[in-house]
């Protein structure tokens, strides 16, 4: 990946690990939104012609350069405020996705790959917490498997 010219403070680099290079599946609704965005992006690119910077960024700034993280954070926070969601962070989105996926029984390896972690131990050590009642549920499952009784 090459650096974008005229981006003094933002450097685009390859992911740190091979597992960071991945395809992330999207819901059809998200694809529809991205296709609409891409159409708008291409129309704007065509209207600017040779004045369009030599980049292919999906979400550039208003001047078609990389979006500074602080500006992205402002937009994210305004969306949260509009939705009346307090105290949520961008990292919180990732954490929620991972935690809810694991808690709902999603395959641990699938969650690891979606997050781009190099090892399953990182995924499980960071995101898997034992919810109240799960230990008891696991014990009951084992008891059922072994043909036991539930305190009858």
Q: How confident is the model at residue 139 (pLDDT cuts 50, 70, 90)?
A: confident
Q: How confident is the model at residue 130 (pLDDT cuts 50, 70, 90)?
A: low
> What average pLDDT does this structure show over 118-126?
89
Cβ atoms of residues 52 and 64 within 8 Å: yes
How confident is the model at residue 32, as a pLDDT? Answer: 96
What is the C-alpha to C-alpha distance for residues 88 and 80, in angstroms, rounded to an integer? 7
- CA dihedral over 29, 33, 39, 45, signed as positive or negative: negative
Cβ atoms of residues 22 and 30 within 8 Å: no
For 65-114, give the secondary structure using H, E and C: CCCCHHHHHHHHHHHHHHCCCCCCCHHHHHHHHHHHHHHCCCCHHHHHHH
Q: Tens digits of per-residue pLDDT, 27-74?
A: 999 999 999 999 988 888 888 888 777 777 888 888 878 888 889 999
Please give the residue that has the higher pLDDT: either 85 or 12: 85
Mean pLDDT, the chain, whole residue set: 83
Among candidate residues 4, 113, 144, 120, the one with its CA nearest the CA of residue 66: 4
How confident is the model at residue 149, as a pLDDT? Answer: 64
pTM: 0.67
- At what angle are helices 108-115 and 90-103 packed, to 10 degrees? 160
């Amino acid at each position: 990946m090459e650096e974008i010219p005229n981006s003094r403070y933002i450097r685009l680099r390859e992911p740190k690990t091979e597992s960071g290079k991945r395809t992330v599946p999207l819901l059809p609704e998200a694809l529809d939104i991205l296709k609409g965005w891409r159409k708008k992006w291409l129309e704007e690119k065509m209207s600017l012609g040779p004045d369009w910077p030599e980049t292919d960024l999906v979400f550039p700034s208003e001047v078609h350069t990389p979006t500074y993280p602080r500006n992205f954070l402002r937009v994210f926070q305004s969306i949260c405020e509009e939705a009346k969601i307090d105290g949520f962070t961008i990292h919180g989105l990732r954490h929620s996705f991972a935690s809810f996926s694991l808690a709902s029984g999603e395959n641990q390896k699938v969650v690891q790959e979606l997050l781009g972690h190099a090892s399953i131990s990182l995924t499980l050590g960071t995101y898997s917490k034992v919810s109240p009642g799960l230990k008891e549920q696991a014990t009951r499952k084992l008891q059922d498997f072994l043909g036991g009784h539930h305190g009858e």
